Amino acid sequence: MGSPCKLHLYLTQKQANTVPQAALDCVFALEKKYSRYQSDSITSIINRSAGSGQCVRVDSETAALLDYANDAFEQSDGLFDITSGVLRKIWDFKSGILPSQETINQTLTLIGWQKIRWHNPYIELPEDMELDFGGYVKEYAADTLATFCMDNGVTHGLIDLGGDIRVIGPHLDGKPWKIGIRNPDNPEKALAHVESTGGGVATSGNYERCMVVDGHRYGHVFNPLTGWPVQGLASVTVQAEHCLIAGTLSTITMLKGRPGGGEWLQDMGLPNLIIEEP
């Protein structure tokens, strides 16, 4: 999953013999299935087919993820876009050099979920376009893992997949889990704490990778409509019943930036914490 993952589960002896390994297998299976870096993943299979004129028939789980991406695209007015991963290639944070507007414009022609032919269960990509499930599959994996644990009788625990959190149930004594929210200015320090006895917590931040050019800070969250890093918000944390929903809402809010993002999120009526850029 590309980031540290932790499972805190209260288990009976019998559960302890089977659940942790099976839970890990469950995460690895999802990673293997959706990773861009594994040549036999469904993501790679779909991406390789781009421009071939051949469609790819996907399994029902992938189909549901694509339907979800479609809904998130529509609900975010095109900001949540799983075809926007190509922007990573032109924004090289190590170089400290901004891509030219011409390069950005060229790359934008390869972005746009509306250009994809998605006819459940068949998908067809135009030439050179790519899908990237990375923007929400980790959150989905946290929920999947929680469902798996609950199916196996686990009632107390917390799943942390690189900051995407899903709480199965409170500590054994009924106390809620305390989840730290990172301080964008000092990511090793918690700025605030959220308490949870169940449900998902996800944070979208623009601080993990960035570069400063001419005194201006450019983060790693890109607006798929402009090709430029979004401005205005440093971090957005959302609490929802599922980690996937929390993650999608925090991502969309981040992409909407300031002004607009905060207002949009408040309308959802879910607990949240927004940290604005200075």
> Rule CB under 8 A: which residues touch other proteins?
30, 45, 49, 53-57, 59-61, 64-65, 67-68, 71-72, 74-75, 117, 119, 122, 124, 140-141, 143-145, 147-148, 150-151, 194, 239, 241-242, 244-245, 248-249, 266-273
Identify residue 116 by its one-letter amino acid code: I
What is the smallest separation between the CB atom of 46 and other proteins, expressed in angstroms?
Answer: 9
Specify the residue, 127 or 267, whose C-beta has the smaller distance to other proteins: 267
- Cα separation, 30 vs 1, in Å, equals 9
Could you give the 3-state DSSP secondary structure of residue 167?
A: strand
What is the smallest separation between the CB atom of 204 and other proteins, expressed in angstroms?
Answer: 15
Of 116, 13, 140, the closest CA to residue 64 belongs to 140
Question: DSSP letters of 105-164?
Answer: HHHHTT--GGGSEEETTEEE--TT----GGGTHHHHHHHHHHHHHHHTT--SEEEEETTE
Specify the residue, 25 or 92, whose C-beta has the smaller distance to other proteins: 25
Structure tokens at 232: 């205005």
What is the smallest separation between the CB atom of 40 and other proteins, expressed in angstroms?
Answer: 10
- Which element (helix H / strand E) includes 191? strand 186-196
What is the smallest separation between the CB atom of 108 and other proteins, expressed in angstroms?
Answer: 25
Specify the residue, 99 or 126, whose C-beta has the smaller distance to other proteins: 126
Specify the residue, 107 or 251, whose C-beta has the smaller distance to other proteins: 251
